[in-house]
Chains A and B, each alone.
Chain A
Amino acid sequence: MNTTFKAMAAAIALGLPALALTTGPAFADEMAEGKWGEYQVGDKRSGYTYAGPETRAMQDDEFQNPAMLWLDTGMSEWENAAGDAGKACADCHGDAEESMAGVATKYPVYSEETGKMMNLEQRINFCRTENMQAEPYKWESDELLGMTAYVKNQSKGMPVDVSIDGPAKEFWEKGKEFYETRRGQLDLACTHCHVDNAGNLIRAETLSQGQGNGFPLYRLKWQKVGSLHRRFRGCNNNIRAEKLPYGSDEYTNLELYVTWRGNGLPIETPAVRK
């Protein structure tokens, strides 16, 4: 299967075989010393580096990673003609492995058409409604999660590189403000958990930096793949704050800010988390 080959090629490019193939105490030592290879860039650390060894192993092994099922859905949807235009993604974009390589590293991007930020899910649905004259995929449907993960997977191992220049700047500022504003009955901001306390336990969970580079990802608690916006809703809900709609402007701006925080980290999609 070409995804297998591709994952291996990406792993080789990243110098990951040492991590993936070394088992036992050597592996543990490497982790204990805080050498996270590509998963750490300066102070930025992927959620992978805070995850337990079983979770990491599940992510690393393509045959164990349950998210691969969603990637398969994305791959077949890529070829699937839909809508009044009778077109599939492949009719305009050809081979995803070529045309989509690197694309996801730039998202969310400012869209001239809508005058606001557009994340990958919204771009996919924009193509469906505008170019295919098809129904947009529903948020959190297997199709949208699968397509987003499939497209993002074509950039696996490439550094996140969103721009906040020009028109994106004001949306970045809104996202930053959201990130730093206390909300909910527990009166907490994202910063309290993911900046001030990354690495600390909150009950049984080790707080990470809340990076977005592995999304959409498979979460054991969800028993399925989920989007970054689903994670935002979960974190908002945990502090007894209002959950905002999937794809809302607020969450898309927040996604820009969260993604920008992780500029330089490699895309990991599809990651696995607890």
Chain B
Amino acid sequence: MQRKTSAISAMVATAAVAGLALTAPAQAADLVDYKVVDDWTIPESLTGQPGDPVNGKVVAIDRKLGNCLSCHKMPIPEEQFHGETGPSLWGVGNRYEPEHLRLRIVDSKVINPETMMPAFYRVEGLHMVKDGFEDQPILTAQQVEDVVAYLMTLTEEEPQTN
């Protein structure tokens, strides 16, 4: 991989594309710095704290926060209506380490620029954001950590129905 990039250069690159680098210097200041390795992982906790899987589940379900169920099937039978525009998250804790999941949630467009999945911890490069939501990431840094911790508990594989 040619790009062993730091968070700073990744952010500058994104901001430069959007033409924001010089016009909005203040906005990224609220987001904590993080380091992307190989366009594939964020090795360290955004907050330096471990995540809380119990709260992570709440965040994942909440329609105003993660709202992950709008797109993903998850092992949460008590919630009705699981979406199917993304892959099932059953067993996702077996397939990934926390550092992979962290980047997926922070900004999955680093991994796949075409993806439908929103970046949950990014504010640059967005257009026509509704009043009241500008310059705010969807989740806080700790909420990202909580969701990562919750996803790591999802080790049960989806039962085959047919």
A and B physically associate: yes
A181, A240, A243, most chain B CB atoms within 10 A: A240
B111-134: contact bitstring with A at CB < 8 Å (1 yes, 0 no)? Answer: 000001011000001111111010
How far, in Å, is B72 (CB) from chain A's closest CB? 10
Query: Chain A interface: which of B28-36, B78-86, B98-106?
Result: B78-86
> B83 contacts A181, CB within 8 Å?
no
A26-39: contact bitstring with B at CB < 8 Å (1 yes, 0 no)? Answer: 00000000000000
| Neighbouring A residues of B131 by C-beta, 8 Å | 242
Please name the residue on chain B nearest to A243 by beta carbon: B130
> A200 contacts B116, CB within 8 Å?
no
Bound-state Cα–Cα, A187 to B120, Å: 10
Bound-state Cα–Cα, A201 to B80, Å: 12
Instruction: Please tell me which one of the listed residues A184, A192, A196, A200 contacts residue B128 in the complex, with CB atoms under 8 A apart.
Output: A184
> B118 contacts A187, CB within 8 Å?
yes
> B83 contacts A200, CB within 8 Å?
yes
Bound-state Cα–Cα, A115 to B118, Å: 38
A182, A185, A188, A243, most chain B CB atoms within 10 A: A185
> B129 contacts A241, CB within 8 Å?
yes
Q: Which of A224-273 contact B (CB under 8 A)?
A: 236-237, 240-243
Whether a CB of chain B sits under 8 angstroms from the CB of A21 is: no
Bound-state Cα–Cα, A7 to B132, Å: 46
Please name the residue on chain A nearest to B70 by beta carbon: A203
> A184 contacts B71, CB within 8 Å?
no
Main secondary structure of the interface of B (DSSP, over half): loop
Instruction: Kindly state the interface size class of chain B when it binds its partner.
Output: 20 to 34
Whether a CB of chain B sits under 8 angstroms from the CB of A204 is: yes
Do A188 and B116 form a contact, CB below 8 Å, given A183-B127, A200-B83, A241-B130? yes
Whether a CB of chain B sits under 8 angstroms from the CB of A141 is: no
Do A240 and B129 form a contact, CB below 8 Å, given A197-B116, A203-B69? yes
Please name the residue on chain B nearest to A197 by beta carbon: B85
How far, in Å, is A216 (CB) from chain B's closest CB? 25
Do A203 and B127 form a contact, CB below 8 Å, given A185-B133, A185-B138, A186-B118? no
Bound-state Cα–Cα, A188 to B70, Å: 14
> How many chain A residues have a CB neighbour from B under 8 Å?
24
| Neighbouring B residues of A196 by C-beta, 8 Å | 85, 116
| Neighbouring B residues of A200 by C-beta, 8 Å | 83-85
Whether a CB of chain B sits under 8 angstroms from the CB of A1 is: no
Whether a CB of chain A sits under 8 angstroms from the CB of B55 is: no
| Neighbouring A residues of B83 by C-beta, 8 Å | 200-203
Please name the residue on chain B nearest to A207 by beta carbon: B85
Whether a CB of chain A sits under 8 angstroms from the CB of B45 is: no
| Neighbouring A residues of B125 by C-beta, 8 Å | 187
Do A184 and B69 form a contact, CB below 8 Å, given A192-B116, A200-B85? no
B51-72: contact bitstring with A at CB < 8 Å (1 yes, 0 no)? Answer: 0000000000000000101110
Instruction: Please tell me which one of the listed residues B81, B126, B127, B136 contacts residue A204 in the complex, with CB atoms under 8 A apart.
Output: B81
> B116 contacts A184, CB within 8 Å?
no
Binding site for A on B (CB under 8 A): 67, 69-71, 80-85, 109, 116, 118-119, 125-131, 133, 136, 138
Please provide the 6 A-B residue pairs with the shortest distance between their CB atoms, ordered closest to farther: A204-B81, A183-B128, A203-B70, A242-B128, A186-B118, A185-B133
- Beyond known contacts A187-B125, A201-B82, A203-B81: 11 more, CB 8 A cutoff: A183-B127, A184-B128, A184-B129, A184-B133, A185-B126, A185-B133, A202-B71, A202-B85, A203-B83, A242-B130, A243-B130
